Structure 1
Amino acid sequence: MTTSYSEKTTMRPSLRKLLAASCFVGIATWATASPASILVEAESFEDLGGWKLDTQFINEMGSPYLLAHGLGTPVSDAFTTIQVESTGLYHVWVRTKDWVARWKAPGTPGVFRIAFNDSYLSQTFGTEGTHWHWQYGGSVELPKGNNTIRLHDLSGFDGRCDCIALTSTKQPPPDDPHILPAWRRTLLELPETPISHGPYDLIVIGGGYAGTAASISAARMGLTVALIQNRPVLGGNGSSEVRVWAKGLIRRGKYPRIGEVVEEFRDNAKKSPGTYEEFGDSKKEAIVRAEDHIDLFLNMHAFDVDTEQGQTHIKGVTALDTRTNQVHLFTGRLFCDATGHATIAYKAGAETVMEPNGRMGMSNMWAWADTSELQEFPETPWALPLTMDDFPYPRDHHGQWFWESGFDKDPLHDAEGIRDWNLRAVFGAFQAMKNGGGSKDHTNAHLTWVAYIGGPRESRRVLGDVVLSQEDIVSKREFSDGCVPSTWSIDLHYPKEQYAAKFPDNPFISIAVHDRRVDRSFGYPVPYRCFYSRNITNLFMAGRCISVTHKALGTTRVMQTCGMMGEVVGKAASVAIRNHETPRGVYENHWKELAELLCLPGKAHRETPDAPLEIPDDVMPLAGSDGPPTGIDPVGLANRLSGTIQDDRDATYQGAWQTGHGLKGYVGHGYRYAPAGSHATATFTL
């Protein structure tokens, strides 16, 4: 682990309480001096119009915010109504930023105006400030009673609004990040005591493939589960918001039943990025809500934990409702960090690691279309100044995974900057296509989609009892608790030199370097001991943040593999609850019981952890160790023919045979072919 550094939680619960108390002292003067102050959170607007709710960067800037992501076309207005207690003159402050100012880029793309009662302020917002700050908007006379507010986008290029403060004096609101949260709570008149939920058997934080599968798996084993997701949809990178198709083969290896839950909800994308419909957001949510034992909490951002027993045991998780700003407390016996960034593990004081440099980056993919009519695209002087030679041409009308940056940037505290750099790259490329050297060939080209939610690949990882390495995988080291089959190559991303020269400090095009010594058929069985924290006694993890090295992450990080981790964690949690054990105790004392559960169909269920198991009639057929057939099922074919099938994999080969999958109608997992005149032979033994 010489290439990593450890991170420890630096703020313990007692210190947080002390800080909160000092915050209230700090805001008392401001609140007393401005008794008529009104705070309007943008995310709580009654009608968001075309503005997007962006919750990715709460840990950085303290709040969700609205984003005018219109791809160069102004989005429709966001609208709300506020109650004003007394007629008077109010000073208007808007928390916003000029999102390209940090790079001293020309122009101000994210501009918008605000109207009160359909009368616009003279100030244009989003024109100043390299960081989030309060921009003064002048004053407005408001009558007592109902008053309307509109956010009016002027550009369609990612203007952003956090909140609006109305004050009776011109004194600006606090900007200190230690004071601002408590000040918000006071003006919003939110209760000091969080809304309580639980106790649950298992609380899963993160609703990507790993968290979704963990929740379903645990619920079907009779556990009560809370699934907390900070977006309005499930799926994470495999949702319509990010549109990365799910990779990693499932239903194979030592326990070929693992992966059946993933198969129920996985996407149907034909390429990456695919279409909105292919990612099946509603299907994922419907499958989760059909489980009686799961309470699903969408738009809920978990940001803190309560610990006990010498700070090694989690009691609860605190989360923010991203639409109302109300705080919720979830208590439970077991927890699963499926956040990708190990957010909950880090807050709990778990031992974590993160590469100091050379990490894989974040992608924001995009798509465009050829239309039958002339299409205009605005000039974007603030975007990266690109020519057609500065980026790989987006063939097949989409910018793929390799539109990736942030390799040596901070993925935890500057994720917004990484995302915004990606946006500058995408808009700069399309500017070159439309208004630059590619204009003659793209007169009818139209930008149809750009992901504003970033797809990160790597940040913190939690240390477990086993830290899986590249050498473990390629040498096929056997662990007694190996279970989840990882079939993806060891796939690590680096800046592509061809496109890195122009922006050496932050290249935006990557190349994948593959170590293909991973068994693609059977898979490498990732140990269960990678799925729980070595020092937090009741914490599981699933997804990108499991206990692996940077290089081993190259194979384990793909979504269907992460989903299978969740399936194992869900069943392990049921063993822990049944036996009053810790995650480590499941391995040390009850591994046989967990192994038996891993052999059950994905739809097997029980009403409580101690109830009898029930196997429904519609379970998936048991796959073999190399996975389900990709062609005609040889067993079914043999039954229909009342005969015996000898698959090509049963033969002995000599000569230049190759494996193929392209010609449909084959039996089993593929076919073999040899060049004409090669004199290659295949021998079958009957």
Structure 2
Amino acid sequence: MGMAVSGPSQRIFRAISRRQALTPSRCLSLPTAFPGRCRRITRWLSGWSCTGRTAGLRRCKTWSARRCGWTGTAGRVCSAAPVQGQTTRSAGTLSTFRSPLNKEESIMMLHRAQIETLVTHTYETELCIVGGGMAGMIAAIAAARHGRKVVLMQDRPVLGGNASSEIRMWIRGAHGANMRETGILEEIALENIYRNPTLNFSVWDSVLFGKVKCEKNITLLLNCSCLSAETRDGKIVSVTGWQTTTQTYHTVRARLFADCSGDSILAPLTGAEWRMGRESCEEFGEDIAPQESDARTMGMSCLLQVRETARPTTYIPPAWAYHFEKKDFENKINFSTPQKWNNCNFWWMELGGLVDSIADTETMRDELIRTVYGVWDFVKNGGVCDAANWEIEWIGFLPGKRESRRYVGDYLLNQNDVRAEGKFDDLIAYGGWTMDDHHPAGFLTTEPPTIWHPAPSPYGIPYRCLYSKNVENLMFAGRNISATHTALSSTRVMATCAIMGQALGTAVAIALRDGLTPRGVYEQRMQELKQTLIADDCYLPWNRREPTPLMESVRIEGAGDVSLLTDGVERPVDGVDHAYVCEPGQAVVFTLPEPRFLSALRIVMDSDLNRETFPEGIEYSFKTFPMKCHVRLGAANVCVPKTILRAFDVYADGERIATENENYQRLVRVPIGRTVREVRFVPRETWGCSQVRLYALELMA
């Protein structure tokens, strides 16, 4: 692959080669002044509650005010309950905050001149996850909901990684009809649609933050960067992070560890085997790989979002921004009409593939910022694009990365596996994005910035790619799984990473329960892992939910084809709908041979996986995932898919035990918690569809 570099790109290339960073003309010092210092926070803001009828397995989740002041419930359905997943204020207010300083400290100014030892907090837990992107966050939620104690260490102030408000890359996954990733990721997407119809990124951050804070089994350490690890006998004993906001160290001792950091920080700290760069075509017989292996990777991007206004606006670029001409945008901007420039999120503003995508990140950030402001100068002022009424909405100063270190597990997924559809026995997730192999020169090349090599949708991803080959208690999920560069070019997209994260968290729960290593789960518990994932609404291609002994003995009556409620396929597949259809008000009745204790009723609804019930004129990208790129005048809001059942009642032996008036989720578990012989489910109202569509109704023992 050639390295055609021309024009202003030569200046960028020279700066990269010398690893030169920008020298700011001046630095601003923003001192903070407080009348005192808090060494310990023993009581935080109390009075918050989080309620949700999500895929959680417990009826009640409660946190003490001493820990963080959050309380919540999951799986609860009642007419008096707040909407699921929504954070609401209760009686507590800011006035409930109490100063942790003792009486003497509270009346004396602190004045010292001495060397002090910085505080180290130590945690004993079952699972420690490093990295709070979509994979790490969802892994933590999955493990916590299955009863395991988790510490989640995230080096940023917000969750979501590349999808957070700091980077704003939209979540992408498998192509094709009805291929949407479900499970916890769909739960998050539907909450964002419900709470955030204008797709505001600050609200999006709160959705992610709330999902983690409303899990009692998760201890969240934000702004905490992993910097060291202790190992013994081929296992990780602990990891330590530095929290910038509190100037404290946090040491986490755990039985299992997961690296979802993207850059695989635990690899060099623990001696876990890893790779970085591109394999030769000969090593795995990959015909899209280069002839010789090299250290080049896909690059990183600082993204640009712009806003449409009602009148022309002015843009004056900073003096240090690069200047570009039309020829610099060959194969990047669609110039077929003056309006085509705003059809993407400027992902091709990419650098870093020719250098070390970890060690050189700061240098690349500086060069990317100069590039971004220069690109907008061309679009706005170059006389080629129709951008008179557009202005900058936001520019990211934190690069979003595509590739760096990749772990080596018991199996390395490669291009041939992807093309063959990956029908592994240990399939625990799936992909379906093209093998989207970005040119390592990124913006510097005049060649196409990427090649979209075809990939089937779906293709399977095996569990053996999620745990370390040589560190016994280390797992990973995200763009750093055990895969070759070419396979990574497809698996790296965030929806795929997210469902791998859910598989990781679920596997950890099984391993901890049974005293197994991650490899031991593969050897002894694969079928249980797969069935648990399906029960939690994760789609596994070529697999179906197995009927439970309880449901095999139950008589089901309803207005539609009740066999579809228990056929184990919970979405349209291969042209077969698999949905039970009835009219609102038509009950489904379960009758047991004899009374027995039931824990819950599991319901899987139709969340319109293709988002065909979104308003007319909605941006297509919003249908893929509800995240905004540019802000357009008059843009339609997203709305809850009309096919979801909004209101329903559940009766046990004739007594109404649950009623719901504002459901917006796909997977709902209604607690029963009693011995009964008959359960009646009455759907009352959808979000707009004339018929009720259900993929599963299942009694749980």
Same fold (TM over 0.5): yes
| Alignment correspondent of 1:362 | 300
Is the Cα–Cα contact under 8 Å of residues 433 and 455 in structure 2 kept in the other structure?
Answer: no
Structure 1 equivalent of residue 633 of structure 2? none
Aligned pairs for 1:245-394 (under 5 A) are 245-249=170-174, 259-266=182-189, 276-277=200-201, 280-309=204-233, 312-355=234-277, 356-372=294-310, 375-391=313-329, 392-393=332-333
- Which residue of 2 is the match for residue 490 of structure 1? 435
Aligned position for 2:415 = 470
In structure 2, C-alpha distance between the alignment counterparts of 1:553 and 1:331, rounded to whole Å: 31
Q: How far does the alpha carbon of each residue in 1:316-359 deviate from its partner, in whole angstroms, 9 at most, with x for none? A: 11101122331111111100100011111331110000014331
1:413-436 Cα shifts (integer Å, max 9, x gaps): 001111221111111122334555
Residue 112 of structure 1: how far off its partner (Å): 3.5
In 2: Cα distance, 1:623 partner to 1:235 partner: 35
Q: 1:571 aligns with which of 506, 522, 538?
A: 506
State how 1:655-674 maps to structure 2 within 5 Å: none
Counterpart residue identity of residue 243, structure 1: R
User: Match of 2:451, as an amino acid?
Assistant: V
Q: How many Å separate the matches in 1 of 2:173 and 2:30?
A: 50
Q: Is the 8 A contact 2:118 2:247 kept in 1?
A: no
Alpha-carbon spacing, 1:638–1:444, altered in 2? closer, same or farther (3 Å): closer
Which residue of the partner structure matches residue 133 of structure 2? Answer: 208
Shift of 1:663: 7.9
Q: In structure 1, what is the equivalent of residue 391 of structure 2?
A: 446
Residue pairs, 1:522-533, within 5 angstroms: 523-533=458-468
Deviation at 1:578, TM superposition (A): 1.3
| Cα distance between partner residues in 2 of 1:397 and 1:390 | 18
In structure 2, the CA distance between the partners of 1:632 and 1:280, relative to structure 1 (3 Å rule), is farther
Contact 1:217/1:602 (<8 A) preserved: no
Post-superposition Cα deviations, 1:495-530, rounded to whole Å, max 9, x if no partner, equal 68xx96xx45xx7x9633122231x2xx21211000
Partners of 1:327 and 1:293 lie apart in 2 by 21
Q: Is the 8 A contact 1:231 1:300 kept in 2?
A: yes
In 2, Cα distance between the equivalents of 1:445 and 1:596? 50
Note closer, same or farther for the CA distance 1:640–1:375 as it changes in structure 2 (3 Å cut): closer
CA distance in 2, matches of 1:549, 1:117: 47
TM-score by length of 2: 0.57
Contact 2:431 2:460 in 1 (8 A): yes
List aligned pairs for 1:394-413, cutoff 5 A: 395-396=341-342, 399-413=345-359
Q: Bigger shift: 382-391 or 407-416?
A: 382-391
The correspondence of residues 141-160 of structure 1 with structure 2, limited to 5 A, is: none
Superposed displacement of residue 281, structure 1 = 1.0
| Corresponding letter in the other structure for 1:458 | E
Match of 1:512 in 2: 450
CA contact (8 A) 1:100 1:382 kept: no
Return the alpha-carbon distance in structure 2 between the equivalents of residues 414 and 625 of structure 1. 47
Q: Which amino acid aligns with 1:346?
A: P
| Aligned structure 1 segments of 4 or more residues deviating by more than 6 angstroms | 99-105, 115-118, 250-253, 621-624, 629-634, 638-642, 661-665
TM-score (norm 1): 0.58
2:35 is the alignment partner of 1:112: no
> Which amino acid counterpart does residue 26 of structure 2 have in structure 1?
V
| Native 8 Å contact 1:388 1:429 kept in 2 | no
Residue of 368, 391, 394 corresponding to 1:422: 368
Question: How many Å separate the matches in 2 of 1:398 and 1:590?
Answer: 43
Q: 1:637 to 1:588 in 2, by over 3 A?
A: closer
Measure how far apart 1:454 and its partner are. 1.0
Query: Which residue is equivalent to 1:536?
Result: 471
Structure 1 residues 476 and 628: CA distance shift in structure 2, 3 A:
closer
Q: Secondary structure of the residue that 1:483 maps to in structure 2?
A: strand
SS at structure 1 position matched to 2:437:
strand
Summarize the Cα distance change of 1:640–1:344 in structure 2 as closer, same or farther, 3 Å threshold.
same
Question: Does 593-602 or 239-248 show the bigger shift?
Answer: 593-602
Distance in 1 separating the partners of 2:383 and 2:187: 46
Judging changes above 3 Å, is the alpha-carbon distance between structure 1 residues 114 and 345 closer, same or farther for their aligned structure 2 residues? Answer: closer
> Helix, strand or coil: the match of 1:472?
helix
The letter for the 2-side match of 1:401 is W
SS at match of 1:533: coil
Q: Which range moved further: 395-404 or 628-637?
A: 628-637
Cα distance in 2 for residues equivalent to 1:214 and 1:188: 43
* Counterpart amino acid of residue 420 in structure 2: S
- Supply the distance in 1 between the matched residues of 2:612 and 2:120 (Cα, whole angstroms): 59
Q: CA RMSD in A?
A: 4.2
How far off its partner does 1:445 sit?
4.0
C-alpha separation in 2, matches of 1:493 and 1:634: 38
CA contact (8 A) 2:410 2:465 kept: yes
Q: Distance in 2 between matches of 1:395 and 1:487?
A: 27
Question: SS at the partner of 1:599?
Answer: helix
Q: Which residue of 2 aligns with 1:236?
A: 161
Closer, same or farther: CA 294–115 of 1 in aligned 2, 3 Å = closer
Give the superposition deviation at 1:247: 1.3
State the distance in 1 between where 2:485 and 2:430 align. 18
Deviation at 1:295, TM superposition (A): 0.9
Partner of 2:515: 580
Q: Residue 280 of structure 1 aligns to a residue in which SS?
A: helix
Q: Give the whole-Å Cα distance in 1 for the aligned partners of 2:576 and 2:511.
A: 40
Report if the CA contact (8 A) 2:131-2:153 is conserved: yes
Counterpart CA distance in 2 for 1:327 and 1:448 is: 36
Could you say if the C-alpha distance between residues 486 and 298 of structure 1 is closer, same or farther in structure 2, counting changes exceeding 3 Å? same
| Secondary structure of 1:214's aligned partner | helix
Task: Give the 3-state SS of the residue equivalent to 1:431 in structure 2.
Answer: helix
Of the candidates 446, 449, 456, which is equivalent to residue 401 of structure 2? 456
State the distance in 2 between where 1:245 and 1:588 align: 36
Counterparts in 2 of 1:487 and 1:219: CA distance versus 1, 3 Å = same
SS of equivalent residue, structure 2 residue 169: coil
Shift in Å, 1:590: 2.5
Report how far residue 362 of structure 1 moved: 0.5
Match of 1:4 in 2: none
CA–CA separation in structure 2 for the residues paired with 1:352 and 1:346: 9
Structure 2 CA distance for aligned equivalents of residues 389 and 577 of structure 1: 57
| Paired amino acid for 1:284 | L
Provide the C-alpha distance between the structure 2 equivalents of 1:597 and 1:627, rounded to a whole number of angstroms: 17
Aligned to 1:11: none
Of 122, 143, 167, which residue of structure 2 is paired with 1:196? 122
Q: Distance in 1 between matches of 2:298 and 2:378?
A: 27
Structure 1 counterpart of 2:579? 635
Aligned partners of 1:361 and 1:456 also within 8 Å: yes
Q: CA–CA distance in 2 between the matches of 1:214 and 1:343?
A: 17
Alignment partners' CA distance in 2, 1:623 and 1:302: 45
Are residues 1:225 and 2:112 paired? Answer: no
CA distance in 1, matches of 2:388, 2:32: 41
Q: Secondary structure at the match of 1:593?
A: helix
Alpha carbons 1:190, 1:326 under 8 Å: kept: no
Q: Distance in 1 between matches of 2:321 and 2:567?
A: 50
With over 3 angstroms needed to count, the CA separation of the structure-2 counterparts of 1:110 and 1:492, relative to structure 1, is farther
What percentage of residue pairs aligned between the two structures are identical? 33
Structure 1 516/586 Cα, relative in aligned 2: closer, same or farther at 3 Å?
same
